[in-house]
Structure 1
Amino acid sequence: MKRILIALPAAVLIGLSLPAVGQEAEAIEAYMSGNYASALARTANAPDADSRAFAARILLAEAIRQNGQPPHALLQDALDEANQALALQPGHIEGRLQKAIALSLISRPMSTGEIRRAGIGGEARDLAEAVLAEDPGNVYAHGFLAVWNIEVIRRGGMIGAMIMGASLDKARDHYHAAMQITPDDAAIHWQWARALAALNAKKYRRDIDTALEAAIASPVNSDLERVMQIRAVKLKQALEIDGPVAAEAMAREVL
């Protein structure tokens, strides 16, 4: 099954490792079709780490499917599920990735000072980097860190980037690593384009156009991927019709 990625200010919804216990094919099908309530109901009573990480993923997909900043309660529920997965199985890869995403989404409306004091940005980064230390070919950890680096630069400026150890070179390295592993992933291309457009749509126009074209041309097999592909189309139209300033504003609002 193809996995799915979504990103926010450093957030990427990571692919699903199929749960080993208590996970029905119907739950996976419901998730892929965008019927998140049904998918969540079918995994609610499964006590294993895989299923709790899957529940976190379902909740985060539901959050991203909406427009604007997701409700805090929904993000907190996702974080709680990811923490349950890690309590059951410390070091669980999917649990760590979903926790990183939840933390990043929670941090979205916060100021850079609030994020720094809470330690959320650094914790999200550390979770993704720990995954890569064990699994260097994890495409979605690379995708997460590509966007994380750009968002730190955008929100924190050069000083914030220095403090957090972020750079555009690191962002590009992670994006290129993700592309080499999975060249036709619409979500990875969309999130890279969105992050660059939010940073500076005029300066990075060529890279943005290339990534958007790749996102639009990539095959999709889930409701969430289709949503992101539609957003890629709309951002491309905004660039072409309304110009970089309008596209940049749009990129900072969408997920």
Structure 2
Amino acid sequence: MRIFTALAIILLTASTARADMDQARQAYAGGRWLEAAVQAELSGGAEGYAYAARALVTQLVLEPETPDRQAVTRQAVNLAEAAYREDNDSAEARLRLAISLGYQGRYTSTMRALFLRVPQRGRALLESVVMDDPGNVWALGTLGAWNLEVARRGGSRGMEMLGASVEAGTGFYSQAIALDPDNPALRYFLALGLIALGDRDRTAMAWEQIEIALELEPRDAFEAGLLANAAQLHALRDDREAATAWAVERMTQ
């Protein structure tokens, strides 16, 4: 009897977790990021915690007015760390931890981040995902973002210290875009990273990607939000300084 009771509890828990994840995905698709995070965290496990971290970072990216952004970022990192502890073989847990750590880096000085080896850990996590799954477009794209952010924050010295380059950044993004050409997010983030560098030689590629992205149909609320951002950025095309400032603000807030 006890065996059947225990089995019933296990099945009920699993069923509840699946229901929570279904609700989390529905909330995410509808742009209700905080609700998605709460439902996913209730689901628990590596999948739930990783999805909750994803939802919180999405909220930070698309809602600049989010109050206490540093606290939300810390929560995203904590959830991603919990996912990683639950299952460090999970590609999604490693990806979301790398992305959450990268976002936390916005509120950490360059020297402290290097001392804590935050960028090194993020890159190692992303490279491990790509090693296991060479077609993971988000890991490839985030490696691209990692290289461009090192270039922006660290300049030539930072790139030399960490083995990063603008060419590697655009190369990783190009691989991701080739695998998922209808993904406007990859094109937007590539353009954002290039424009934030303030390098005249890179702007042609950036604006080309923005224009292609704006021709694409969003597949969910996340992509719709990013396309709205892309339209704001595109409106600044004829004012290089304003476009650079806008991009830097988006990269640092």
Measured against the shorter chain, the TM-score band is: 0.7 to 0.9
Q: Which protein is richer in helix relative to its size?
A: 2
Other structure's SS at 2:236 match: helix
Residue 64 of structure 1 corresponds to 61
Equivalent residues in 2 for 1:11-90 (5 A)? 21-67=18-64, 71-90=69-88
Greater Cα radius of gyration, structure 1 or 2: 2
List gaps (5 residues or longer) in structure 1: 1-19
AA at the equivalent of 2:53: A
Q: Distance in 2 between matches of 1:45 and 1:200?
A: 43
Across the aligned residues of Structure 1 and Structure 2, the Cα RMSD in angstroms comes to 1.8
Equivalent residues in 2 for 1:58-207 (5 A)? 58-67=55-64, 71-207=69-205
Other structure's SS at 1:239 match: coil
Runs of 4+ in 1 over 3 A off after TM superposition: 20-24
TM-score, normalised with respect to structure 1: 0.86
Asked if the contact 1:22–1:51 (Cα under 8 Å) also holds between the matched residues in 2, the reply is no
TM-score, normalised with respect to structure 2: 0.87
Aligned residues: 234
Other structure's SS at 1:128 match: helix
Asked if the contact 2:123–2:146 (Cα under 8 Å) also holds between the matched residues in 1, the reply is yes
Asked if the contact 2:120–2:162 (Cα under 8 Å) also holds between the matched residues in 1, the reply is yes
The structural deviation recorded for 1:81 is 1.0
CA distances 1:159-190 after superposition (whole Å, capped 9, x unpaired): 11011000122112211111110011110000
The structural deviation recorded for 1:201 is 4.8
Quick one: percent identity of the two aligned structures?
29
Match of 1:248 among 235, 244, 250: 244
Asked if the contact 2:70–2:107 (Cα under 8 Å) also holds between the matched residues in 1, the reply is no
AA at the equivalent of 2:219: N
List gaps (5 residues or longer) in structure 2: 1-16
